[in-house]
Amino acid sequence: MAKILIILNERKLYLLQDNQVTNSFPVAIGKPATPTPPGNYRIINKIKNPSNPALGTRWMQFTTRMHGIHGTNNPASIGTAASLGCVRMYNHDAEYLYSQVKVGTPIEIKQQQTRNPDNPDNNLTYYTVQPGDSLYQIAKKFNTTVQELVRLNNLSNQDLIYPGQRLKIPN
């Protein structure tokens, strides 16, 4: 089941499937005078090509006060606190997200990501192996070691990774 997690201080939206991060996207959030409301919500309405051009090409409403996740006609605002409380995405990202979620999809909005040292999985991210990847390239990309990736993922042979495989990556 899909879930959306938005971490306000990171200016990131995470799409999860079965509690695993499958994608992350940069976003714009509400400015200090009109902040994006933290809490737990659900998508209550979806509109393709909304009539207001400021909403970009997709609208996914999550409050009755008209907060939503949407595209934008101001892509330079992504990564900033610029909206009236909505979560803005690049249009191509909003179109992808729109295709992956439905009315009723849960949304969790948090000020910051909390790390739990008692739960080591909470200090991990996940990476999906792409064609041509090697463990060495992945380790270099995420500033870790091959040995750490082998240990975290219980790999018996570091040369046997395959496209589509999900690897745990230390933060």
Active site residue 65: no
Distance CA 105, CA 3 (A): 6
Quote the DSSP letter at residue 107.
E
Active-site pick, 55, 69, 86, 89: 86
Distance CA 110, CA 107 (A): 10
Give the pair of three-digit tokens for residue 168: 């745990």
Give the pair of three-digit tokens for residue 153: 């993922």
Distance CA 46, CA 101 (A): 9
Q: Find out whether 71 and 98 touch, Cβ atoms under 8 Å.
A: no
Active site residue 70: yes
Active-site pick, 11, 58, 67, 70: 70
Catalytic residue annotation: 70, 86
